[in-house]
Structure 1
Amino acid sequence: MSFPRQQARTLRFTLGVPRSFEVSPDGGRVAFLRGRDGIDTATCLWVHEAQEGTERVVADPRALGADDENLPPEERARRERLRESGGGIVSYTVDRAFTRAVFTLSGRLFYVDLVGERAEPRELPAATPVVDPRISPAGDRVAYVSGGALRVLDIAGAEADHGDRVLAAPDGDGVTWGLADFIAAEEMGRYRGFWWAPDGSALLAARVDESPVGRWYVDDPASPEQEPTALRYPAAGTANAEVRLAALAVPSSAEFRAAGAPEPVWIDWDREALPYLATAGWTTGPDGSPTAVFSALSRDQRTLTLFGADPVTGLAMETRTEADGVWVELMPGVPAHTGRGDLVWIGRENGTGERRVFVGGRAVSPADVYVRGVVDVDGDRVLYSGSPADRPGDISLWLLDPETGLSSPVELPGHGCSASPDADAHSGLRSGRLRGGTLVVQHRSMEFAGVRTLVIREADTETRRGTGSIASFAEAPDLPDPRVEFWRAGERGIPCALVLPSWYRDDLRPLPVLMAPYGGPHAQRVLRARGAFLTAQWYAEQGFAVLIADGRGTPGIGVEWEQEVHLDLASGVLEDQVTALHDAAERFGSLDVSRVGIHGWSFGGYLAALAVLRRPDVFHAAVAGAPVIDWRLYDTHYTERYLGLPQDDPGVYERSSLLDDAAGLERPLMLIHGLSDDNVVFAHTQRMSSALLAAGRRHTVLPLSGVTHSPSDPTVSENLMLLQVEFLKDSLRGDA
């Protein structure tokens, strides 16, 4: 089987890899999702017994009649924002005691008991379609969204309908309760729209009104009998959805029948100054009462304020403000609170320097660690991820010791991982989950293929009682081990990786170069993990020297590095790709810089088109997948963070747009775009093609019918790789 076909049918070798871990309070059991093999898209829910090292399936979608073709539109949109291409059980929640889990399949609601080995999943009579169900902390109720309304039912209800009741219903066209708005899910990392109070007495819920947002239409010409899909798309400089927050008391079914749903308690803050609802949740006050916690961001993203709110009165009080003259980065995992009630936060001291982890106002992360996010908080122990200042391609886990106030990198015992943080085998990418002293760590490295999942008991002690593992069923790539060279290029120290064919020798003719960047904010490609280079290695085997460079704007190095793209998304990122290419050519004799191609997707597609348009002296062919062409057509939160409002300085947008460059195209350019893309809409490629045609410039357009921003169909994914190779070889042959 060819590698493109294997990669496509395994969803980039993610099928069969355990993920989405939940750990019981005592650390004895771990729930997770995984298919039964490396091509199984019907993801199952499993439970791992940490002490015995055994595992069992607790819910199999095939036994429950799952049908991933029959998903409600809200669920499809949620999965698109999550870039979730798998099927079966793709998410679940557990109660505080780890006794029950709830999940949805084909818009139907199910729960399963996690205690007892023979418990069978049961369907609950919820209003369909069910979207984003979440179990209450006590495990007795489930809240979910259906038809834009936020609903609650009892798991063990005596009534036939389990007391299914509406807590909040849409009160206008374009209004929903309990769902994340487009901007929150696509750009802010907030995929939820409601949150249970710690005692289960109330829900904190977002009311989203999309009526101010402009209506766009996504069409699929292959199905002319279907109406175009209408969506509310907040393009740069236009109106966003109006998002409010309310506390909703959750009455019992008897109370609801007697008095109906209580009125929402609105949480008020200055939404004109801080319109973006960035995060929301709960904590417990000193007297044990639940307190709502949320953060709100200004439209220019230079001010982020954290609030605490009384769910009874709705009164919100500011507890912390983060300000930055360029933009404030929304960091994963915060705000959070320790068992003592101390705030866990990530920010810059007095708005300067690098980001640090703060607990109770005190910086606890080393000053020379690039902080990536808080991973988990268990009692007073804080688990966070970061990279050493000199190794941006390594992502490690760090654990705070509450007794000493010091944090140190988590060492991985055995399994080929050295206890020394300086050893190469210790490097790689790590993510984890911590509960009851049990730490689940997922480790990726250049030293081995795939993902290793370790279950370390009493991980916060020096002795550690034992280490187990959860197997990955992912297929092994039918490909030679990646042949990768890492270095930092130029005076700026640009992280680079060069991937060569396994068969290449120094006495052979230099190879044409294929640059494969993302090159933009929020994505890093030069990482110490084999999985990051599988596609690059396949392209190398076809006869290319594949060069990947993470220029300015990409994460992993520092705040100033990320902010250097402010008000210009074109010049700096392109200059860094050129610098990396020239540096690589000086270091390695295997590169033929007279034949240089470049390909990429999304921002990488923008960068690929930018390269051949503005530097045809360096780049000789490009494949641009789902490229942003005109930043006026991209969304508010992302675009305005870097370029401001288009009405304030149109010149900033013009300098980063590619439309005015169309007349100067000299090199072969292939544009690939999904017609159903609701993130970077097809209008980008359509307008670019029209501008090229008007200028009489030859180019290639490959429209993908029914495909969104991330192609998931195996046949489409496989053939895209084959067609790109053919185009690049043909285009670069003339420059030989």
Structure 2
Amino acid sequence: MDGQLSFPRQHARTQRFSLGAPRSFTVSPDGTRLVFLRSRSGTDRANLLWVHDLGEGTERIAADPAALLGGGTERLSPEERARRERSREGSAGVVGYAVDAAVELAAFALSGRLFAAELRAGTARELPVPGPVVDPRPSPDGRHIAWAAGGALHVAAADGSDVRALAEPEHERITHGLAEFVAAEEMDRSRGFWWSPESDRLLVARVDETPVRRWWIADPAHPGREPAEVAYPAAGTENAEVTLAFTGLDGSRVPVEWDRERYPYLARVHWSAAGPPLLLVQARDQRSQLYLAADPETGATRLLHADEDPVWLDLFPGVPVWTPDGRLVRIADEGGARVLMVGDRPLTGPQLHVRAVLDVGAEDVLVTASAGPEAAEPGTGEIHVHRVSELGVERISEGPGVHSAVRSGAVTVLASATLDHSGAAVRLYRDDRPAGTVMSLAEQPVLTAHVRLAESGERRIPCAVLLPAGYREGDGPLPVLMDPYGGPHGQRVVAAHNAYLTSQWFADQGFAVVVADGRGTPGRSPAWEKAIAHDVAGVTLDDQVEALHGLAKSFPLDLGRVAVRGWSYGGYLAALAVLRRPDVFHAGVAGAPVTDWRLYDTHYTERYLGHPAERPEVYDANSLVTEEGGLSGAAGQHRPLMVIHGLADDNVVAAHTLRLSSALLAAGRPHEVLPLSGVTHMTPQEQVAENLLLLQAGFLRRSLGLV
């Protein structure tokens, strides 16, 4: 590693120090093998498939993309590009894989081609099947592999023979076996088909995008190219029609029946040997949802449980699922806390805020959780792994940090990130005893984040403060840079070192950087998250102001020079801050901001703001392009604002920034717009990512008079 390499260049080249780090772990049920992905170095984008032998403590390559492709360059289909954009996947090579029940056969796609790896033998081969292949998955018995291609769901024998289509689209706007946009972008459901435990049939999603409004995303830098057509379900418009059918390997088809008019969102599907297929379906307003069991023979569904909430119902990773003895496992908001429910019993209380179910065993459930509203210690930014059973709750991760785990039988893989060290340490345990580690090849950053975690204001808003390296008491107050995400699903204040590397770099440019997680951000309590209902703008902005003023009592913050930057929701919040509160914020950088919520998608936007036809005044009040939303601002206080947007963004489309710029121009408000040709919501390109940091720092320093 060249010590002279700048942090912006290193940060971009390593994809935020994620390259070379092991991920996507799977433990074989016999406890002998651990399968995972990792690239060869901290600057290599191509992931390889690895197998770790838990008995010998050795690891070997099970699939090398360079060898399998003969050194050729990957070519991604539009469907695969969309999947990676939805999951924010910026690496290459093997970015995902699926295995059979014994974890002996793995299937994955490269360049739209299907590959299978024998994990015991360590051999991988291509299967000559129709493509471009998306999301290949072996059957539990390892005898077949299914995949989506060209809108159809295909299946073949594991050796590549007997290829056939099980479900084919009736026209070009129908797909089988793929998740629709809002499921992949907002529901964390990236799959569109599920194997039966007996490997004799699949549960297949059919998506009809005919009702969805069409948008066109052009590349102005190449006017000769046709615009890309995308089906985008903007708030208040029609969603895709999603149905399910049990599809046999013999070609049989049994439609699944539920009240799709009342519950159109298919949020979760789970199928295991412990019980019948589980469905979680939601109403469009997301204030009611049903847990259903489906009958593979008839397609009929029966109600297991119904949830209602006057504000909204959240979705959680890992649930619903069955226990081995057939009880329903779910996460619910009960009594002001987020609790684990097994059957009809809550197994956790207000001391824990349960976030995800990791594994369900015969005797316990493995979960991640943060401190609940009645925890003895707040544990700011900490997320721990807990074992929950009828006998109580046991925390198995140690030390302040952000911990997660994968478990199968007696083997647990524990990944732990802390404030003291870069990256995450991956440790293996068998029957709770150490059984080895998995090496990370990620780069060490050229700087170290010096983070002080705190709570600010009457609401005890979780915050992180970073000062320039070498700052000493007596050096005087510093100009402030607020660096939030500040919205739903985005916790920024975490007890993990690498989360603050960019913030530390900005601090080293001469700022006191503040990261604040106000109401609406996850990890504290249901009431904290739902406080933004119908007022995302006012609540989230108020909490940034409260956090700033509270911290100024303890930290050297110059409240006469305050800037704010952010991306996505953070970009919205940054622009909002400059426009609505120029008395507090003196400059802002808004990256890929949502500016008009009528242009954002149904599932996300309507959860927080309602349906625009029913609450138009709410949309106007939370917009950046209306007088009601604060476009008029304070008379005579026009603060410098830079707006950045990727023109290829199909999530927050560039129209958001163009409409904001037009409104600002009409209002006589000075601003700068930086369009990024060919860039999506992720900005994965190395040169773009590096220069964005440099340009932002330069703009903020100029705007606050630091140069």
Distance 2:67 2:161 in 1: 23
Identify the residue that residue 385 of structure 2 maps to in structure 1. Answer: 397
**How far is 1:377 from its partner?**
2.1
Equivalent of 2:392, from 406, 421, 427? 406
Matched position secondary structure for 1:715? helix
Structure 1 residue 67, shift from structure 2 partner:
5.3
User: What residue is the counterpart of 2:375 in the other structure?
Assistant: none
Alpha carbons 1:340, 1:380 under 8 Å: kept = no
Give yes or no for contact 1:184–1:190 (8 Å, CA) kept in 2: yes
Indicate how the Cα distance of structure 1 residues 171 and 405 shifts in structure 2: closer, same or farther if over 3 A, else same.
farther
CA distance in 2, matches of 1:662, 1:700: 16
Residue among 136, 140, 143 paired with 2:146? 143
Counterpart among 616, 623, 629 of residue 657 in structure 1:
623
Match of 2:76 in 1: 71
Provide the C-alpha distance between the structure 2 equivalents of 1:409 and 1:509, rounded to a whole number of angstroms: 43
- Would the aligned equivalents of 1:202 and 1:249 in 2 still touch at CA under 8 Å? yes
- Decide whether the 8 Å contact of 2:649 with 2:679 is kept in 1: yes
Structure 1 residues 26-76: Cα deviation after superposition (integer angstroms, max 9, x where no partner):
222100000011111110000111122111111010001165641010000
Instruction: Give the Cα separation in 1 of the matches to 2:500 and 2:282.
Output: 36
**Shift of residue 360 of structure 1?**
2.1
Structure 1 residue runs of 5 or longer lacking an equivalent are: 252-260, 413-425
2:371 pairs, out of 381, 385, 388, with 388
Q: Deviation at 1:392?
A: 4.3
| CA contact 2:104–2:119 (8 Å) conserved in 1 | yes
Distance 1:566 1:406 in 2: 34
Deviation at 1:511, TM superposition (A): 1.1
Is 2:522 the partner of 1:555? Answer: yes
Whether the 8 Å CA contact 1:144–1:152 is kept in 2: the answer is: yes
Q: What's the offset of the Cα at 1:663?
A: 4.4
1:468 aligns with 2:454: no
- 1:622-661 matched pairs, under 5 angstroms: 622-660=588-626, 661=630
Residue aligning to 2:545: 578
Are 1:298 and 2:303 counterparts?
no
Partner of 1:47: 51
> Partner of 1:726 in structure 2?
698
Q: 2:88 aligns with which of 76, 83, 88?
A: 83
Equivalent in the alignment of 1:477: 445
Q: Distance in 1 between matches of 2:680 and 2:74?
A: 15
Partner of 2:97: 92
Partner of 1:546: 513
Tell me the matched-pair count: 691
Tell me if 1:271 matches 2:276.
no
Whichever residue aligns with residue 381 of structure 2, its letter is G
Q: Which residue of 2 aligns with 1:36?
A: 40
Counterpart amino acid of residue 437 in structure 2: S
* Structure-1-length-normalised TM-score: 0.92
Looking at structure 2, the residues matched to 64 and 20 of structure 1 have their Cα atoms a distance apart, in angstroms, of 20
Superimposed CA distance per residue, residues 385-444 of structure 1 (whole angstroms, 9 cap, x where no aligned partner): 00123224100001134xx532211145xxxxxxxxxxxxx0110111011210001100
CA drift of 1:108 comes to 0.3
The aligned runs of 1:127-206 (5 Å cut-off) are 127-156=130-159, 162-206=161-205
- The whole-number CA distance in structure 1 between the counterparts of 2:35 and 2:74 is 26
Measure, in 2, the Cα distance between the counterparts of 1:384 and 1:392. 18
Q: Does 1:281 align with 2:267?
A: no
Structure 1 partner of 2:66:
62
Q: Using the TM superposition, give the Cα deviation of residue 171 of structure 1 relative to its aligned residue in structure 2, in angstroms.
A: 1.0
Structure 2 partner of 1:21:
25
2:475 aligned to which of 508, 513, 527: 508
Aligned-partner Cα distance in 2 for 1:68–1:10 = 19
Deviations, residues 307-364 of structure 1 (Å, cap 9, x unaligned): 0011111111011111101001111110111211221111134xx4212111122211
Q: C-alpha separation between the residues in 1 aligned to 2:34 and 2:276?
A: 29
Task: Find the aligned partners of 2:158 and 2:452 in 1 and give their Cα distance.
Answer: 55
CA displacement 1:427-478 (0-9 Å, x = unmatched): 110111011210001100012221100011112xxxx2x3310000000000
> Does structure 2 conserve the Cα–Cα contact (< 8 Å) formed by 1:663 and 1:697?
no
Q: Which 4+ runs in 1 deviate beyond 6 A?
A: none
Greater mean deviation of Cα atoms: 340-349 or 615-624: 340-349
Distance 2:97 2:170 in 1: 29
Task: Verify the 8 A CA contact 1:67 1:105 in the aligned structure 2.
Answer: no
Aligned-partner Cα distance in 2 for 1:668–1:411: 45
Distance 1:653 1:359 in 2: 39
Residue 716 of structure 1 aligns with which residue?
A: 688
Structure 2: how far apart are the matches of 1:134 and 1:405? 37
Q: Is 1:337 the equivalent of 2:331? A: no
Q: Secondary structure at the match of 1:307?
A: strand
Partner in structure 1 of residue 308 of structure 2: 323
Aligned mates of 1:387, 1:467 — CA distance in 2: 26
Q: Secondary structure at the match of 2:293?
A: strand
**Paired residue type of 1:388:** A
Is the aligned partner of 1:373 residue 2:356? yes
Q: Deviations over 1:229-269 (max 9, x none)?
A: 00010000010000001100113xxxxxxxxx22x211011
The aligned residue for residue 309 of structure 1 is 294
Q: Tell me if the contact between 1:50 and 1:457 (Cα under 8 Å) persists in the aligned partners.
A: no
Could you report, residue by residue, the CA deviation over 1:646-677 in whole angstroms, capped at 9, with x for unpaired residues?
11021100110011244446000000000000
Give the AA of the match of 2:123: E
Q: 1:435 aligns with which of 399, 405, 408?
A: 408
Alpha-carbon RMSD across the aligned residues, in angstroms, is: 1.3
Show CA shifts across 1:473-523 (max 9, x none).
Answer: 0000001x2222111111111001110111111121321100000000111
Q: Of 584, 588, 601, which residue of structure 1 is paired with 2:567?
A: 601
**Which SS does the other structure have where 1:163 is aligned?**
coil
1:359 aligns to 2:345 (yes or no): no
% identical aligned pairs? 52
* Counterparts of 2:667 and 2:613, CA distance in 1: 28
- Give the TM-score normalised by the residue count of structure 2: 0.96
Instruction: Name the residue aligned to 1:256.
Output: none
